[in-house]
Structures are given as C-alpha cells and as structure tokens.
Amino acid sequence: MRVHKWSVRCFFSAIMGGVRIENDIKLDFSDVLIRPKRSTLASRRDVDVLRTFRFLHSRKSWTGIPIIASNMDGVGTISMARALAEMRLLTALHKHHDHTDYDCVRPEYTFVTIGITEQDEKRIRALIKKKPPRFLCIDVANGYTQRFVDFVRHVRSLSPTSVIMAGNVVTGEMAEQLVLSGADIVKVGIGSGSVCITRSVTGVGYPQLSAIIECADAAHGLGGLVCSDGGCVSSGDIVKAFGAGADFVMLGSMLAGHKESDLPVVENAGGRFI
C-alpha cells in the first residue's frame, strides 16, 4: 500500500504537537440562520452592496462589490476577471497564468496569485520590476508555517504599495500574525471549499462561520480585513459570511462551470457539463 508522504508528515506532526479537545461550539454556515428584523428598505433590490475600504499597509482605497472569484483552475481566469470587473467584482487569477496575461485585465479588480516557492518569488520580482500589482494574493492550503509568515513579510518589503491578501488560516492568533507581517487582508478557511481535500488528507480544518467570527475579531482589532474563502453553496451563505464579520467573500463552486471558466466543454449522453 502506498501512502502519500504529505499525509504521513501531517499525521506525525499532529501527534508530536499533541491534541487538545475544544468543548465550545463551532459553527458552519448550515448550522445557523439570520433572524429577521425590521428594515426601512422596501425590497432586497434596494440593498446597496458597494463598499469602500482603505487598506492598512498599502494605504490604498478601493470601492466595489466585495466578492472575489477564487484562484481555482476554471474560476480564476482571464475571462472571469473581464466579466466580473464590468460588475465591479474582483477575481483572484489562478497561479498558472503567464505574467503577460495580466495586461489583459483591469488591475483594480484583479488579484495576481502566487505561492511561496522560489519560482513564485521570481514571478513576483519580475512583476514588481515591470509594475507592482495593485492586488496580490499569497495562497497556500495551510498557512500555519513560519516559512509562510516570513514570505508574507518578505513580499511586503518588496512591494509596499500592493494590497496583499494572504492565507489560508482559521484562528485569531494567526490572523493577527499575518496582519502584523504585512497582510492587508487575511484569507480565512481550511477545508471548507467543495473541492478542497485538506480535511480528508490531513485531518486539519475548522467550521467556517466560527473561523470568520474569530479571525475577523482579531484582524479588525489591528486594522486588517478578512476574506471568507470556501463553504458558500448559496447566496444565503454569502450573507451569513458577511454577517459573521467577513469584509470580502471568495467564491469557487458557485462560479465554476460557466463559459468564463475557459475549460473545454465535454459532451456526454446524460447532458452537457464542464
């Protein structure tokens, strides 16, 4: 039997770190509903969803609808960025784009996404030399490593004017650490996405609604912002994420499968699907 080396490392890391049972209740989107209250609005159509933010480290301001297309293959595409920018929504491009692709999108609505490898550092250095990206997303599956924190701090020193979103984490102390290390926005969520395998492979995760509440409280106390990443399967989940304290909400599966995914359409006898 072959066992993935990453799984083995995570298993032994968990054992060596010890286990502590948390007895207080942790909640996902499906565990709660929003209790209604009286409003002066005549209809839901009258809700103004535009928001203006000023970012802690970059000192930049931005106005738009704080929903972000995920940096997943088939979601964070050039076509998606073009379409959503027309509606003043953001897109986090996936990591596999060539740096020349960024000339085809509106920078005020587009995140450039990188990881923390040496190749990613070369990419970001090349981009900064050409023109620092307006929005930059530093994305890893599990942000609980010193290497990740150090990389966020390093990129902030390289590009002080970029709005940096970094994650993913799910606890208040790490949200604080990332804000102190230079992140304007902390990306919150581990294992909550529909195609994320982190929970099943490593056993690591946290119910998304509670993660947002705890991380938002920590980040807001320092002047930082948070983005809920994962777990939204309906528009009601987006509302719950904002209600829990998220400043931005990232969507993956809800935007997948559209023509903007830039993936080939596969025909089968049962119907048409991506």
3-state helix, strand, coil in the chain (%, to 5): 40, 20, 45
Buried/exposed 161-183: b ≥16 CB within 10 Å, e otherwise: ebbbbbbbbbbbebbbbbbebbb
210, containing H or E segment: helix 208-222
Specify the 3-state DSSP secondary structure of 263: coil
| Active-site option among 10, 104, 137, 196 | 196
Q: Single out the residue of 49, 44, 31, 45 nearest to residue 247, CA to CA.
A: 49
Helix (H, G, I), strand (E, B) or coil at 111: strand
Catalytic site residue 196?
A: yes
Which backbone phi and psi does 265 adopt, to 5 degrees? -85, 130
Amino acid making up residue 274? I
- 148 CB-near residues (< 8 Å, 6+ apart): 116, 138, 140, 166
Show the CA angle centred on residue 209, arms to residues 22 and 95, nearest 5°. 110
Using DSSP's 3-state secondary structure scheme, residue 217 falls into helix
Contacts of 247 (CB under 8 A, 6+ apart): 51, 53, 66, 185, 216, 225, 226, 227
Residues with catalytic function:
196
